[in-house]
Structure 1
Amino acid sequence: MIKLFQYNWMVRDEWFELFKQVSTEELTRKRNGGAGSILYTLFHVLDVEYSWIRGVQGKPEILVQFEDYETLDQIKELSDSWLNETRAFLHTWSNDFEHETVTVPWTEGHFVKGEILRHIITHEIHHMGQLSVWAREIGLQPASANVIGRGLLSVDLPPV
């Protein structure tokens, strides 16, 4: 499962790099489908990942507002700042946690930790598909969604 998180982070960084060539106006333009705009979609992916990772750990939610992150660089910095905590947590993951349940403050119910991690992974992949459509609409070649050729089986998570 860690390898799929690494895959998402690789692709996410490719999106950040690709969208550097796009104006803030284009990045914030309201679009059909998805989370609404390119910039907000990137923010949303980060927010969901970090919120659920903290929820799985039993840590309090950290609320961030999109309005406080007006540029691609600011959202990239947010992504980078949260990555260390996520990596550190994933280093502690054990199959013993797979079926443990947690509650989170933003919704009712009990959630299974293993399902949450899989949700985080597939949630980002889902939104990367939307970014691919939008990138093509503005004349860009999307970041590759290909897992093959990324060397994931030879890449380890950096030490914490």
Structure 2
Amino acid sequence: MKILFEYNWEVRDEWLEWCKKLSPEELMKKRTGGVGSILKTMFHIIDVEISWIYAILEKEDFQPEYNDYQELEKVVEFSKMYRDEMREAVLHILKDPDAHLYIPWWNQTFAKGVILRHVIAHEIHHVGQLSVWAREIGTEPVSATLLNRKCIS
């Protein structure tokens, strides 16, 4: 699972770099599907990752407001700000992935490893949406291949 988190982070960084080619208007344009726009989707990916991992660590969740991150540079910083903490947390959680945790907003108990897999799948799902939007605006999407990536070398 560690490799898949590293993969998601590597791909996310490439998407954030790809976003720099777009105007602020294009980044914030309302789109069909996802959470509404390219920028809001990038924010959402990061926010969800942090929220779930904080839940696993039984840390208090925070609710960042998208309105505070309506510039690409702020979303890039948001991603960077928590990366080291997320990396350490994933390694810690992987020591006991079968431990269970009650998630109040789902009113259910899940194994921590299952939650990590959910977080991985969530980001991959949204990357697929970004890829469709990239093609709709006539640009090449970031490659989704796992092969030949730094995370596996």
TM range (shorter): over 0.9
Q: Which runs of 5+ in 2 are unaligned?
A: none
Q: Which runs of 5+ in 1 are unaligned?
A: 155-160
Partner of 1:121: 120
Q: Percent identity?
A: 48
Query: 1:105 offset after TM fit, Å?
Result: 4.6
After TM superposition, the structure 1 = structure 2 runs for residues 32-51 of structure 1, keeping only pairs within 5 Å, are 32-51=32-51
Q: Residues 103 and 80 (structure 1 numbering): CA distance in 2 closer, same or farther, change over 3 Å?
A: same
Residue 112 (str. 1) matches residue 111 (str. 2): yes
Deviations 1:17-41 (CA, angstroms, capped at 9, x unpaired): 1110101111111101111110010
Residue 102 (str. 1) matches residue 101 (str. 2): yes
Partner of 1:13: 13
Separation of aligned partners in 1, 2:3 and 2:44: 21
Contact conserved, 2:4 with 2:120, CA < 8 A, in 1? yes
Give the structure-2-normalised TM-score: 0.94
Deviations 1:118-155 (CA, angstroms, capped at 9, x unpaired): 0000100000000000011111100000000114333x
After TM superposition, the structure 1 = structure 2 runs for residues 65-104 of structure 1, keeping only pairs within 5 Å, are 65-95=65-95, 97-104=96-103
Contact conserved, 2:94 with 2:113, CA < 8 A, in 1? no
Contact conserved, 2:11 with 2:144, CA < 8 A, in 1? yes
Separation of aligned partners in 1, 2:93 and 2:102: 18
My pick for the range that moved more, 132-141 or 145-154, is 145-154
Residue 4 of structure 2 aligns with an amino acid whose one-letter code is L
Give the number of equivalent residue pairs. Answer: 153
Residue 113 of structure 1 aligns with an amino acid whose one-letter code is K
Contact conserved, 1:55 with 1:61, CA < 8 A, in 2? yes
Give the structure-1-normalised TM-score: 0.90
